[in-house]
Structure 1
């Protein structure tokens, strides 16, 4: 009988969570016990395969001559050793669980360290070596002795090492494999980035020191009291000076308190003291429950205005420093985000400290996703295989035990897109038993057998409304639970569209308790030649392209237009009015806070400029309350013109997350009618020398093409219906709805041809008749350009009539032309940033200006961008353009075709011509890169249309003006 030979890498394919580690416990950042950070420079050697090198590097006396140095925390593939790999859900290795390829990049790490002076003697307790996160599988030695192995990349693991420590010359050796059985549980729509990417710490654990503890701090909203009980593995005392509490561990005490919430994150400072250690506590009193079909915190239903957050830095990957984590939280608070789903794993524990401090509701998600098994119909899915259940339970326990003392965590999530199975049920049962104070979430449980909330991804508006109205059917248990969109509004590239319509649904139906936009940040990797790299830019055999760039922040953490739009849509104060009755309606949309922390102001604007302003007294409305507030009388000496009221709600004083004066909400509404531009056709066309003149316009007499307005040369003015498809236009392969981008290309809208049918010179007009159509199709657009002038201004009226059987919407409808010597653009209309029909809530009417370069939105993959909406007039390149009706304005130093062809921003090379689009309309944006497309009312259907523009030459200006 043959006996299989076991090798040193068998543990890589073992489905168990590991060996030799200590039981999980609560995390705390500091105590009076001694600790030593082992972060910093480590010696490093990369091998191409598991087992390619022996274990001699872990022995004392090993000479690492020639080894490289890398930073820990860090990923070796981002430090010049190998390359990152991006896949959405397909595993980048053969699916043969629990086996992984022999070609398994393996990083050996060495760290030599001395104990600091006054390190406690071994007799005074134990020493613990802690790893906060290692991807994906690690084997650990200290001073030549193997400590054990572990999997669970984004979870902590500890080893007892006191007996092995020396005063000087300690050698810590860690072997990390990129792939392991654990990789099958971590298929989380992300870059695969191996390495020791979170902190490594050595801590002294005193005799009778704090080991594990559980802070139970509930709140009774009926009595405004909190009940505190701290259970501790080692008996001790709990003191909270601000509440006069001094009790033994395990003993409950009830006192009057202020509750913790995301809006008012009240924390009480305390201390847990045992015989050997003192640990600081930050206690937030709050109670989470599902009752009467709603998720309630402290007795009140909450509305999540959330984001999904992968941890990301464009240079360091998931190795985040405290400053970056704090920047994320501050950006969320300043953009009215109140909730985070930690997709799809527990974050660095310090991030949850920040959520406690600044105030964010958190869905804490387990380090689990097996999405790649969907390719085989979920056959062999680990969560339905009993062999894997211990590993699943280990991951659940390490999350709950680490994070259980954070008041910001209001739901536990079993994981993401892992199908269904017995393992998930076991996890839910364990979590419910260990921490019944928090509900359990998991989107992939359609019957809600194991969960306490009904969660979905990317449901369209109509379906969400049916759910809100209770018309969705399904199991009785599910119909009695609150509903969350744990992912919606896919923020990939230009978009997402439809946010305002979703929010109106959330605010209209009590059962709909909000959602979490996918996702927080683009995962572009900083690249010296490409700007930011995405899937496929590192030569991956299997990848999912720029699907990894789907965030509300650009990789450098600049807010995208999508985040600016989301901020406006979810603002916590509603400010509405029609400007005619002298009042404004103010509504408090907070869940908990009143409006006493806000200062309101008004301004009266004429033609986009403020002519008067002042404070606006608003009562401190309670959550859900509204009041009609009287506006002042418009100033009697205000100039004539188009007038608007603008009302702002700003912080009245500095807060922890923003300075006083930070605007949290605003509303704008018209106070007078707009006067459309009018041109009386009095000038007559004149011909000579091959040109035709009409007022300030010069035309080619043969083709009727405009060549100049005054001194401003104009190139190639013609109808334009094409836009460089957005990620949402292109759509995801699994979307069932027709996808605009592919269909637009399929019928040839990207290669329209223009046929000149007639040039007609009348008494007071020049009329050019054309047909615009794609090659190979019978479809077309009969297009007539009619030019008139009053001598000083030139009016163009465009009439468009569809011909043939049009079955798809148009990308855009307007005119395009080229200008020279354009640097700055001024306009009166929506701004300051881009906006489209279903992404327009954040566009305020005003006078704005920008450079041409500043009008571009730097999406990682170039696509349609930069339109300014509701433009009345614009000035650029020696021209003033007025629209009737309002129009969308775009100006670029490259053509739409060049924008369409670019894969990265570095592919866009500015030319000498600025290409201007004046659009009558655009197709909506939607979020069909993963979610639903634009709502039907935002479809640009081919139908008869007429629109006009008035061109005037601008007076010459001195240089620099």
Structure 2
């Protein structure tokens, strides 16, 4: 006889649930009553799914000793348990549909009264917008049912159970369930009721499901509107003079909706019992001529993947945070979002409609962990799971079908292939033939309408663009979209401009989506931001969860600044003749009439006048040569022009004067740095004096320059490896970071061969090499002076067999931190490396040493400024020939390398300055390709110089 009959059988049931209403369109508001049940709830957490009976769901149950948590929220972020991060490994044994007995379960309880004006007639619906991962629900002691599908809405009919006062809503939430096998989505596992809970009154004759069809004919300029509704009624759009019955089409002249011009018309769907506001955008999506077109025009996606994230609240996002995301995207020229890897909070799509973003809406589906067993037992190819897959597809499509911003449906992510995906694609194509279907894993494009790839290197993208990639005949006729590329983990991503050049060259390439929008760091009192492993997880993937263009607090990273520059919708560059610039409209739909242009010049980085520039309102794809105002008298200085495209008036997402695009060019090039020679070194005991500098006679190292103490000046080739330097363990090609460390570049030894004071120079000959290796760098430091200025010329010749590139090549030295805070320079203004330089605006800049540090969640190489002519810090002015990179930090590169979190770094008494002749590229190899070959820093003979002097001389 069985001693145990589990009451939690629903947890391992592959069915999507029971008791819920059919999915339907979601709308933000209506004139029917509603009651938010968000707020403070009682919570009891148990270690297993069956640790407690369901007595808590009955009215009168004593919860006096229960904790309180906020809903929406995750209980593990409110002091009850801990989050878990894995990229693709399931944090439990893979034995579908079974889950561990150790299954944290949160019993949630909410008491509520109905408002005094709550109507007596009609029904009511209880809606959950998101619960992870499985919920069982009771109202006033009566079980309503259970459901899975964490990022999807579920509704129950509850009108017959409501009381005017003293209602008790009970929800049992299990962290693990059969549904967890479908939600392996490279994010924190965070159980809880993390989206809104709402009670909706349903008057007699209220709106049920409805489908707004609003197409646009780009030839005639007419829009056709038809609203299909389960409940008959009328549709009115006063601005268009529309007043028709549901189901009846009407054609009228309209302005179309696009992401660039998000024109919405306010309407109303009125039935006998309810009035629902509509926001209607007319647009037509079609696959024509092998391209995705909207309103007859091919799209170029300049997109991002967006997980929902807040560093304190996890996936429980408020409206202001969602709006902040959209505004930041618009202000950085992003035009598209893939909702990786689940439908977002519905309010986010409202914002995309309003502000204008193309959306690929992705189903709440990923089974990536099954790759570890070669996809054996994968649920998407098991007919028992197909109802759950279809339920997820239907709940996405039905909820979001009325959003004009949604131009494509995605079946999910990294779930292999199988009959379940085919069933989903067939259902979606039948339900909504007006939108294409996307899925990256369908390489033969059997079920999908686009060819989608992740992280192909540039060369492969070009092969695909030229039709040289092979594949099925169907695939060869479809456009390519990179649903993920340019992995924004830590410092990077590199190579964005090179991808964009391909996208803009070949029609078949319709752009892509950078991975991803925001770092998923969790606020932590000791660590700053925590990542995988910081909560004692048994399995975890470290800081792979921090791979966004925003830091966790939503501060834009240098990567976002770079991306915004690379994808800017106006190209500004040198014209065909001197004194002109070429302006090109790279919008898909908009002309340039909403922009104004200004031109300015600078001499040696100093502004020298700003002028309005008249640019015609170019249409999409058009270019014009525009005459620049005359350059000012350069008086022998370096002269650049800068042209900016600015908003001519306030828009919903930015105010007048916001910079949309900019270009820069050189009129008069920089003069060579004057030679510093003539003075002779003088030996006096243990020192050598040469011009303004004093050297150690034994080592040849400078002690002071112009009275400034300088310590440990020597060749430096090491950088604290970036996440992209480290690469990903599954990649077979060269991952520089591990090879650098294996070679010993982090522990180079400096052998002194000679110190010579012949003629006008102090020459120091050395060899720099790692222990245990043959390869080395023969390095000569040659110092000269004219009596006031000091010139260092560094010559480097590699010796031996070098099989890997160098991280950097330059010199490093230390300055007294107490006198080294303010830094000024003439060069690029923001962090930049060889393949992340597009946004490096040339000019004069000032910053404190602390401001020069980029706060990546996992510390790594950061903060380099490119194309530097000179830098002033710590009482020294340093000019370079040729231009150089500089960085200054209050810790060494070795200390930076050893740190796991920002809080591991403590400023010391020395500011360490790197003056780099060259840097190795960044790339995207934390998940994607490494730097292009032209950005590699292979050891080869090099010579570079720096001139030291007193600022102002």
TM over 0.5: yes
1:345-386 per-residue CA deviation (whole Å, 9 max, x = no partner) reads 000000000000000000000000000000000000000000
Gaps of 5+ in 2: none
Please give the alpha-carbon distance, in whole angstroms, between the structure 2 residues aligned to 1:166 and 1:736.
Answer: 64
Q: Is the 8 A contact 1:579 1:669 kept in 2?
A: no
Structure 1 position 758 matched with structure 2 position 757: no
Could you say which residue in structure 1 is the equivalent of 2:605? 608
Aligned-pair distance for 1:49?
0.9
Please give the alpha-carbon distance, in whole angstroms, between the structure 2 residues aligned to 1:198 and 1:917.
Answer: 48
Please give the alpha-carbon distance, in whole angstroms, between the structure 2 residues aligned to 1:822 and 1:634.
Answer: 36
Aligned-pair distance for 1:673?
1.3
Please give the alpha-carbon distance, in whole angstroms, between the structure 2 residues aligned to 1:390 and 1:580.
Answer: 65
Work out which of the residue numbers 686, 693, 709 in structure 2 matches 1:713.
709
Work out which of the residue numbers 429, 433, 439 in structure 1 matches 2:430.
433
Structure 1 position 805 matched with structure 2 position 775: no
Could you say which residue in structure 1 is the equivalent of 2:479? 482
1:155-182 per-residue CA deviation (whole Å, 9 max, x = no partner) reads 0000000010000000000000000000
Work out which of the residue numbers 730, 739, 742 in structure 2 matches 1:743.
739
Work out which of the residue numbers 375, 378, 399 in structure 2 matches 1:402.
399
Please give the alpha-carbon distance, in whole angstroms, between the structure 2 residues aligned to 1:930 and 1:795.
Answer: 43
Could you say which residue in structure 2 is the equivalent of 1:704? 700
Work out which of the residue numbers 660, 666, 675 in structure 1 matches 2:662.
666
Work out which of the residue numbers 379, 382, 403 in structure 2 matches 1:382.
379
Work out which of the residue numbers 538, 543, 550 in structure 1 matches 2:540.
543
Could you say which residue in structure 1 is the equivalent of 2:89? 90
Aligned-pair distance for 1:689?
3.2
For the residue of structure 2 that corresponds to 1:541, the secondary structure is coil
Please give the alpha-carbon distance, in whole angstroms, between the structure 1 residues aligned to 2:426 and 2:742.
Answer: 51
Could you say which residue in structure 1 is the equivalent of 2:55? 56
Please give the alpha-carbon distance, in whole angstroms, between the structure 1 residues aligned to 2:322 and 2:951.
Answer: 49
Aligned-pair distance for 1:639?
3.8
1:438-490 per-residue CA deviation (whole Å, 9 max, x = no partner) reads 00000000000000000000000000001111111110000000110000000
Work out which of the residue numbers 804, 828, 831 in structure 2 matches 1:830.
828
TM-score by length of structure 1 reads: 0.98
Please give the alpha-carbon distance, in whole angstroms, between the structure 2 residues aligned to 1:673 and 1:96.
Answer: 67
| Aligned positions of 1:267-278 closer than 5 A | 267-278=264-275
Q: Is the 8 A contact 2:676 2:789 kept in 1?
A: no
Could you say which residue in structure 1 is the equivalent of 2:873? 876
Aligned-pair distance for 1:929?
0.1
| Aligned positions of 1:449-464 closer than 5 A | 449-464=446-461
Please give the alpha-carbon distance, in whole angstroms, between the structure 2 residues aligned to 1:145 and 1:676.
Answer: 85
1:531-589 per-residue CA deviation (whole Å, 9 max, x = no partner) reads 00000000001000000000000000000000000000000000010696111000000
Q: Is the 8 A contact 1:85 1:193 kept in 2?
A: yes
For the residue of structure 1 that corresponds to 2:397, the secondary structure is helix
| Aligned positions of 1:632-651 closer than 5 A | 632-635=629-632, 637-651=633-647
Could you say which residue in structure 2 is the equivalent of 1:105? 104
Could you say which residue in structure 2 is the equivalent of 1:22? 21
1:666-687 per-residue CA deviation (whole Å, 9 max, x = no partner) reads 0000001111212242000001
Please give the alpha-carbon distance, in whole angstroms, between the structure 2 residues aligned to 1:812 and 1:451.
Answer: 45
Q: Is the 8 A contact 2:693 2:707 kept in 1?
A: no
Please give the alpha-carbon distance, in whole angstroms, between the structure 2 residues aligned to 1:28 and 1:99.
Answer: 36
Please give the alpha-carbon distance, in whole angstroms, between the structure 1 residues aligned to 2:484 and 2:172.
Answer: 36
Gaps of 5+ in 1: 957-961
Deviates more, 1:97-106 or 1:56-65: 56-65
Work out which of the residue numbers 329, 336, 339 in structure 2 matches 1:339.
336
Aligned-pair distance for 1:953?
2.5
Relative to 1, partners in 2 of residues 1:926 and 1:9: Cα closer, same or farther, differing over 3 Å?
Answer: same
Could you say which residue in structure 1 is the equivalent of 2:508? 511
| Aligned positions of 1:538-617 closer than 5 A | 538-577=535-574, 581-617=578-614
Could you say which residue in structure 2 is the equivalent of 1:959? none
| Aligned positions of 1:49-448 closer than 5 A | 49-121=48-120, 124-448=121-445
For the residue of structure 1 that corresponds to 2:404, the secondary structure is coil
Could you say which residue in structure 1 is the equivalent of 2:9? 10
Aligned-pair distance for 1:954?
3.2
Deviates more, 1:70-79 or 1:580-589: 580-589
Please give the alpha-carbon distance, in whole angstroms, between the structure 2 residues aligned to 1:480 and 1:242.
Answer: 41
TM-score by length of structure 2 reads: 0.99
Please give the alpha-carbon distance, in whole angstroms, between the structure 2 residues aligned to 1:144 and 1:826.
Answer: 69
Aligned-pair distance for 1:823?
0.5
Please give the alpha-carbon distance, in whole angstroms, between the structure 1 residues aligned to 2:364 and 2:300.
Answer: 25
Please give the alpha-carbon distance, in whole angstroms, between the structure 2 residues aligned to 1:306 and 1:117.
Answer: 47
Q: Is the 8 A contact 1:287 1:298 kept in 2?
A: yes
For the residue of structure 1 that corresponds to 2:945, the secondary structure is strand
For the residue of structure 2 that corresponds to 1:599, the secondary structure is strand
Please give the alpha-carbon distance, in whole angstroms, between the structure 1 residues aligned to 2:732 and 2:441.
Answer: 20
Please give the alpha-carbon distance, in whole angstroms, between the structure 1 residues aligned to 2:94 and 2:676.
Answer: 73
1:126-145 per-residue CA deviation (whole Å, 9 max, x = no partner) reads 10000000000000000000
Deviates more, 1:675-684 or 1:418-427: 675-684
1:202-236 per-residue CA deviation (whole Å, 9 max, x = no partner) reads 01001100011000000000100000000000000
Please give the alpha-carbon distance, in whole angstroms, between the structure 2 residues aligned to 1:678 and 1:779.
Answer: 35
For the residue of structure 1 that corresponds to 2:642, the secondary structure is strand
Q: Is the 8 A contact 2:518 2:551 kept in 1?
A: yes
Please give the alpha-carbon distance, in whole angstroms, between the structure 2 residues aligned to 1:710 and 1:454.
Answer: 63
For the residue of structure 1 that corresponds to 2:619, the secondary structure is coil
1:303-352 per-residue CA deviation (whole Å, 9 max, x = no partner) reads 00000000000000000000000000000000000000000000000000
Structure 1 position 952 matched with structure 2 position 949: yes
Aligned-pair distance for 1:4?
9.5
Q: Is the 8 A contact 2:891 2:906 kept in 1?
A: yes
Please give the alpha-carbon distance, in whole angstroms, between the structure 1 residues aligned to 2:204 and 2:228.
Answer: 18
Aligned-pair distance for 1:955?
6.5
Please give the alpha-carbon distance, in whole angstroms, between the structure 1 residues aligned to 2:329 and 2:863.
Answer: 24
Could you say which residue in structure 1 is the equivalent of 2:626? 629
| Aligned positions of 1:841-852 closer than 5 A | 841-852=838-849
For the residue of structure 1 that corresponds to 2:48, the secondary structure is coil
Q: Is the 8 A contact 1:679 1:793 kept in 2?
A: no
Relative to 1, partners in 2 of residues 1:861 and 1:732: Cα closer, same or farther, differing over 3 Å?
Answer: same
What is the alpha-carbon root mean square deviation over aligned residues? 0.9
| Aligned positions of 1:897-936 closer than 5 A | 897-936=894-933
Please give the alpha-carbon distance, in whole angstroms, between the structure 1 residues aligned to 2:952 and 2:566.
Answer: 41
Q: Is the 8 A contact 1:385 1:423 kept in 2?
A: yes
1:51-106 per-residue CA deviation (whole Å, 9 max, x = no partner) reads 01111100111111200000000000000000000000000000000000000000
For the residue of structure 1 that corresponds to 2:518, the secondary structure is coil
